[in-house]
Amino acid sequence: MRKTKKSLLESYSFFHFDDVKEFETFLQNEYEKGDEKIDYVDIGGILYTMEEYDMSGKTISYYNKRTGLGFTVETQDRYSLLGFSDAEVCEPYEVGCWRNDISYID
């Protein structure tokens, strides 16, 4: 059976926030380790795709191909008991390049 684009999208988790600060507060206070992975984040009407995460638990990168903007989420170690409680989300910045092996939604 071949998955349609719609069924592929339905298998991912989408999160919507008004701004970066609201996303940061959500990670620090509400997001629990082991919750759904945050594949896509809508911040202020721009849909960002998770692009990369490091295995040491310190950085997750998101990117929007249409606008050329990206941002990172940084923690001391998201795999520790603290999880994302110390998360810092940087303001979106111009990236200028993207990965060819990722299907960006926008």
Rounded-to-integer distance, Cα 94 and Cα 47, Å:
15
**What pLDDT sits at residue 90?**
94
**What pLDDT sits at residue 4?**
38
Ramachandran region, residue 44 (left: φ > 0; alpha: ψ -120 to 50; beta: rest)? left
Q: Tokens in use for 51?
A: 């692009």
- Provide the β-strand partners of residue 69: 64, 94
Tell me the pLDDT band of 19, cut-offs 50, 70 and 90. very high
**What pLDDT sits at residue 10?**
59
Q: Tokens in use for 84?
A: 């994302």
**What pLDDT sits at residue 105?**
77
